[in-house]
Structure formats: structure tokens, C-alpha cells
Amino acid sequence: MFSYDRESKILSGIELEPFYHHNVTAGQLLIHYLQRDPTKIIQSCYDTGVNITAAEMEQLGLRVAKNILKENLKLGDVIGLVAKNTTYVAPLVLGCLLTGNPISTLDPTFDPNEIANIFRQTLPKLVFCDHDNWENVIEALKMCKNDAEVITIDEKMTGVRFIGEFFELLPGERPFFPRSFGIEAFRLCGVILCSSGTTALSKGTMLSHSQCILMSRAFPIHYPTGICFSSLYWLSGFTVLMQSLCGNIRRIITRRPFSPLLMIHLIEQYKASVLLTPPSQIAMLLQSPFLKLADLSSVRLHVVAGGFIDESMRKSMQGHLLYGALLVTYGMTEVASIISITAPLQKFSNSSGKINPNFKLKIVDDDGNSLDPNNVGEIYLKAPYRFLGYANNVEDTKNAFDSDGWLKTGDLGYITEDGEIFVVDRKKDMIKYMNYQVAPSEIEAFVNAMDGVQQVTVVGIPDMLRGDLAVAIVVKEKDADLTEQDIIDEVAKNFPLFKRLHGGAFFVNELPMTPSGKIKKRIVREMAARMYKSQEINGNY
């Protein structure tokens, strides 16, 4: 349900009262819900076969909290986490939420420079990591001149502390009891997640305990078993963890990277009812020969998050879900939740659905003026809770909001008369050719549908006379009978002059991806500029 004010041009979700007292922390809430069904298995590790029940998760989390307090950390001191999805990551997060020590989650594939970038912002006092990235973490801390101790979380290493000691209590020692901190939950930082870093260096986004609680209610229905390959570095991965702990939902984890065959195997083995994937993983599934043979009968919801997915791809994936529905969402790290979501089995379009409760949204032009329906502009938001800012970054925190407290998303989109939200592109990704605005996603969807194209991204490269030149960077299917000129010509036949590939099309073996499956546009632009310049030198353009 929603309302639209024609005078203010604001789209509003239905207003719901908070379910919990404003002082309740995420840790207190999770312990309460873990006690509802103590024998329920809520985590299964595919790699090791280890299952953890709700009661075991509660006990491990409380013991971690008790032992964190022995580390002489103050309320608000940050604990770093650089780890894949392994058995003891969830109890560590629960323990941190219980002690009031924000946990800063980094992707385990980060190199020392990327780790150091985040550590300079979050200033961790203690760091947990996998054994195979221990050296990278140590090097990053040296670069930051940070003397935090590093503890392994997946395997023991000689001379290095191991998380196992955080599950031990001395004989007669009383267990930790969940407590309040005398601070309203929406003012107390629970986790520091990172901006995606697809267009620039990542920022540490400080989210409150209230926002962590909001994550636990992200999806519209309860489901028994879920799969998401994202590490806790991503909002999607952290959200699925919060839902698992709060809803006694069996969360399937693996440290292995996504592949279509592994995803299908996990679905079939665990009878998964909900999947959470970015669009890139759907693209890989649809191109896999294994999908036609897969048993997806257990899947009830396939939730898409983290990027644009066009209408044709939605139709194709829905065709494989015999008893389930594909739901497309729009969300962002700063609001710690889904802003909008499509309805099950609604008519296919490029819509991101209708606005969720307690959100407000408006579309503004470059001068900050609110726009009527069906006009493209930047999406501004007011969320149920305002995020606490970017860690040690006052300027970017201030610039994230306008003078009236609206969050500037950096996304371009529009709303319709019936409340549908359409996200067109990232504002920074828009191509401006001869003063025309060109959405890369429109060209990408067209090229992606061409025979022989496995993956494509379109970026703009600067040109002094014309503004930006659109360039398609393409991964083609093996043995495909397709040339770069074929792509340029097909786009020219189907698009007006200003939307054509004036910078050309280039084949590459693979696209640079973030760990959660987003394309690193900043790096792609650099690649495109180099390839275009090489063509100029050779006289091809």
C-alpha cells in the first residue's frame, strides 16, 4: 500500500509502528528469537557438513560476547571481519551485536590496499580473518599503522590466536546476559558495511542496531531454507544472516565461489525455498546447460538484488521456476533494507516494484526540483531510520543528504501514476553525448539479447568534442560467430544516433567483477579508454 501527494510529489509507503522498544538492541532481539525453536537447524555448512541449531547459535554467541568483554574493548570499539562464510562467522557477529562493538565486514578477496582503505576509516581494535588471508590483513594493518591483534576464524595457525578460545568459559564462570546500553538503538552502531566500490573506493557505512533489526524483516514471507553466496561484506549477505537468526531459517553457507552448477547442486541437496542473487548470477544460470536439467521445484522465491535486470531476463528465469516467483528489489546499503519489491507473478516490465512501508521517495532534477510521475531524475529517499554516516568521513556524510534530510541515492529513475518505481541507471554511469542523456542499461539489455553474447557492460569514455562516447565491452560465448562490428551495426540499426556505440565494441575474456557479482565500472572505463585509444592509433576510428 502507498500514497502519493501530488502537491509535494512524494510517494510514501504505508506507515507502520515499530514492533520493538526503541532501546532494544539487535543482539537482544536475536537471542529472544533464537529461543523460540531451539532444536531447529539454522545454519548448514556445505563444505564441512556442520549443522548448528538455534540453541547452539545462542550459546556460541553468548560465549563470544563474554570473551569479547575480556579484550578490554570499550563500547563502540570496532571489530574487523575479513572472512568467507564459514561455521563460526555467525556466532562472532551475534557476539559483537550483544557487546555493542560494531563489526566492520570486509570481503575476504580484498588485497592489502583495499583492506587498508577500510581499516583507515573504521580503526578496528581487533580483527578476525581466514587463515589464507592472514598475511594480507597483517600487511594492511601495517600500512594503517594499526596494532590491532589478528585472530583466525576458520583454521588454526601456529603462533596466532584462534576463535575457538572465544567459545570457552572458565569453570564456574557465569555466562553473558544480554543487556541494554542506555542508548537508543537507532543511535548505536551495530555494523559497518561498505559501499559497493563499483565506481570509486569503498566507504564504511555505519548502520544502527535499529537498521540491523530492519534487515531481519526484509522479505515478505517466512521461508525454511535460503541460499545466498554473498559474504557478509555485502548488504545482501548480512541481511540473509539477520533473517536466519531472527526467523530460525536454515541458512546454507559455503566458502566456495558461485557457479551455476554449485548453485543448482545446493538447491537440490537442501531443497532451498528462497534464493538471493545479483543479476549477474541469473545471467550465468540462464547460460548454463545444467539449468534445463535442474530440479528447482523447492524454490518459492528467487529474490534479485544489487543491480538492474531487464524484462527479458526476468521472463527467462521465471520460466524455470515451476512453483516459485521471481521478485526484483531495489535497495541500498545506506538504508539497510529493501526500498521496493515487485509482487509475485506481476506483469513483466523493468519495474522495481512498489515502495515498502515507512519509506518516502521523490524524484528531483539537477536543480533539486521535485518532478511529476514519468519524469526521470535522481531518486531521493527518507528511510525508517537514518544511517549513522560514513566512518570518519564527515564531508561525504554531509553530502549524502540535502538540506531537508533527504538521502541522495545517486540513482536515476522515475515513478508512475500507479506507484511503480523504475530505476534507470546510476547517475554517475549516465553517458552524456552531445548534451543527450544515454542510459547504459538500455543498450546493455539490447546487446545482451544478441546471439553469441555472454555478458556485456556499456560505459562512457570522455571525448573533448562530443562529451562521452558509448563503448560496449563484451564477453562472447565460446565459438560464437560474432564480430565487434556486428554489435556496433546492430545497435546502429535499432537506436537513434545519440545512443549508438560511438566508442566502439570490444571483446574481452572476462569483466572485472566485485565479489558479489557487480561489474567494476571504474575499471571497465579505464579498459575501454585504453582500447579505444589503441584503435585510434591504429587508424580504425
What CATH number is associated with residue 465? 3.30.300.30
Assigned domain for 528 exists: yes
Q: State pLDDT tens for residues 131-173.
A: 999 999 999 999 999 999 999 999 999 999 999 999 998 888 8
Q: State pLDDT tens for residues 492-523.
A: 999 888 899 999 999 999 999 876 677 888 78
Collapsing DSSP to helix, strand or coil, 286 comes out as: helix
Assigned domain for 308 exists: no
Which domain covers residue 508, as residue numbers? Answer: 432-537
Instruction: Round to whole Å and give the CA distance between 229 and 525.
Output: 27
Assigned domain for 450 exists: yes
Q: Which three cell numbers stand for residue 57?
A: 547459535
Assigned domain for 281 exists: no
SS3 content of the chain, % helix, strand, coil (to 5): 30, 25, 40
Q: Which three cell numbers stand for residue 329?
A: 528489489
The total number of structural domains in the chain stands at: 1
Q: State pLDDT tens for residues 225-255.
A: 999 998 898 899 999 999 999 988 999 999 9
> What integer pLDDT is reported at residue 201 of this predicted model?
67
* All residues at 6 or more sequence positions from 439 whose CB lies less than 8 Å from its CB, including other chains: 412, 424, 425, 430, 431
Assigned domain for 475 exists: yes
Assigned domain for 228 exists: no
Instruction: Round to whole Å and give the CA distance between 126 and 133.
Output: 15
Instruction: Round to whole Å and give the CA distance between 290 and 281.
Output: 14
Q: State pLDDT tens for residues 281-318.
A: 898 899 899 999 999 999 999 999 987 788 888 999 99
What's the whole-model pTM score?
0.84
Assigned domain for 442 exists: yes
Assigned domain for 208 exists: no
- Helix boundaries (H) for 258-404: 260-270, 279-287, 311-318, 394-399
